Structure 1
Amino acid sequence: MAKKRKVGNLLALAVLAALIERPMHRYELAAVLRERGKDSDMDIKWGSLYTVVQNLEKHGFVEVIGSERDGARPERTIYRLTDSGRAEAEDWTRELISTPEPEHHRFVAGLSVVAMLPPDEVVALLDTRIEQLNNDIAARRAEIETQTALIPRLFMIEAEFGVAMLSAEAEWVAALRDELASGTFPDVGFWRRAHTEKIPLGEVAAMVEGGTFKQSASD
């Protein structure tokens, strides 16, 4: 089970990891994180960067070591990582790598209520999803090929994982689509009939909860 952390926003981990390299001010931190595509690795809300850095300082994970002024721009506070900040970053990374945690996925939310749609429409929607997934996979693979000529694989493994997850999803979606289209998906006939005859979803749910769905679906 994941620990409750003093600063639990994953943006905080990205900040700590960046400050391991050298002290930076917030504008430099934002530029470095954007340049490295951290917003594709985690859910980052850039507007919360100021608050995250403040909270890291409050809990002793970073400390102010000075400030600088560039021309007429406002003075910029420079932060560096503390020993406790490094320990927090390392412990957090160990947890993320070792401990699976349930993660919400928009597709899963759609699957949980897909019975609202007729199966033939779902087949068409899955075709669209498969096409988009395959396009995304191809684009990401091409980008990885380009980047690995310049960047060590150690700094690309999160991109590899992303492609692996998309590929697994595309394979599963294609299998579901084929089951629905071929009629081998269990009870797809009743699913189709429920929409054709406009059987209320509440009635179908009552069948499932009452244990009579299988009998009704086979009638």
Structure 2
Amino acid sequence: MAKKRKVDNLLALAVLSTIVERPMHRYEIAQTLCERGKDRDMAIKWGSLYTVVQNMAKAGFLEVVGSERDGARPERVIYRITDAGRVEMADWTRELLTTPEPEHHRFVAGLSILAVLPPAEVIELLGARLDALGRILEVARRELGDLTGTLPRLFLVESEFGLAMLEAEAAWTRSLRDELIEGSFDGLAQWRDWHDRGMRPSEVTASIERGVAEN
């Protein structure tokens, strides 16, 4: 089970992994994260970054080492990682690599109430999702291909994982859609019947519960 952390926003870990290289101000941290494509893994917003850096400083993971001013721009506070921050970064990384945690996925939420839509519409919607996934996969493969050979693989493994997950989702979605089209999906006839009879969701739920009780 994941432990309770003083700052539990994953953006904090990204900040620690960046600032460990050298002291930086917040704008430089954000710029470095975006240059390395971390904005694809998480939302990097100025307000969130400001709060995360402040909280990490309060927790003792970062410390102020100076400031600088560029022309008329506001003064920029420069931070560096502390020994406690290095320990937190390593410990958090170990936890993420070893401890599976349930992650909320919008697609799963939709699948959980699939019965509210008729099978024919679900087939159409899954087809639209596959089209969208195809476009996303095309971009992801191209971006990974462009980076391969220019960066050590050590810095590309998260992109490889993301691509693998997208491919797995597309394969599973395609398989489900094929079952619905071919008619091999278990319970498909009953599902169609519910919608042909115009049953309300509550009636569908009651019908399923009766079937479970009878079995």
TM-score range, shorter chain: over 0.9
Q: Identify the residue that residue 178 of structure 1 maps to in structure 2.
A: 178
With over 3 angstroms needed to count, the CA separation of the structure-2 counterparts of 1:45 and 1:74, relative to structure 1, is closer
Contact 1:10–1:43 under 8 Å retained in 2: no
- What letter matches 1:173 in structure 2? T
- Which shows bigger deviation, 200-209 or 123-132? 200-209
Q: Identify the residue that residue 79 of structure 1 maps to in structure 2.
A: 79
| TM-score (normalised: structure 1) | 0.94
Q: Identify the residue that residue 21 of structure 1 maps to in structure 2.
A: 21
* CA distance in structure 2 between the aligned counterparts of 1:36 and 1:73, rounded to whole angstroms: 25
- What letter matches 2:52 in structure 1? V
* CA distance in structure 2 between the aligned counterparts of 1:75 and 1:43, rounded to whole angstroms: 25
Partner of 1:100, secondary structure, is coil
Partner of 1:211, secondary structure, is helix
Root mean square deviation, CA, Å: 1.5
With over 3 angstroms needed to count, the CA separation of the structure-2 counterparts of 1:205 and 1:97, relative to structure 1, is same
Q: Identify the residue that residue 30 of structure 1 maps to in structure 2.
A: 30
After superposition, what is the alpha-carbon deviation per residue over 1:93-147, rounded to whole angstroms, capped at 9, x for unaligned? 0000111000000000110111111001100111111122122112211111111
In the alignment, structure 1 residue 88 sits paired with structure 2 residue 88: yes
* CA distance in structure 2 between the aligned counterparts of 1:177 and 1:142, rounded to whole angstroms: 27
* CA distance in structure 2 between the aligned counterparts of 1:27 and 1:146, rounded to whole angstroms: 27
Contact 1:17–1:89 under 8 Å retained in 2: yes
In the alignment, structure 1 segments of 5+ residues that lack a partner are none
| Pairing 1:164-203 to 2, within 5 Å after superposition | 164-203=164-203
In the alignment, structure 1 residue 107 sits paired with structure 2 residue 111: no
Q: Identify the residue that residue 49 of structure 2 maps to in structure 1.
A: 49
* CA distance in structure 2 between the aligned counterparts of 1:153 and 1:181, rounded to whole angstroms: 40
| Pairing 1:1-16 to 2, within 5 Å after superposition | 1-16=1-16
* CA distance in structure 2 between the aligned counterparts of 1:183 and 1:121, rounded to whole angstroms: 14
* CA distance in structure 2 between the aligned counterparts of 1:107 and 1:29, rounded to whole angstroms: 32
After superposition, what is the alpha-carbon deviation per residue over 1:54-112, rounded to whole angstroms, capped at 9, x for unaligned? 11011110000011111111111100000000100010000001110000000001101
Percent identical: 61
After superposition, what is the alpha-carbon deviation per residue over 1:166-211, rounded to whole angstroms, capped at 9, x for unaligned? 1111111111001111111111111111111101221121122233
- Which shows bigger deviation, 115-124 or 201-210? 201-210
* CA distance in structure 1 between the aligned counterparts of 2:52 and 2:191, rounded to whole angstroms: 48
Contact 1:137–1:166 under 8 Å retained in 2: yes
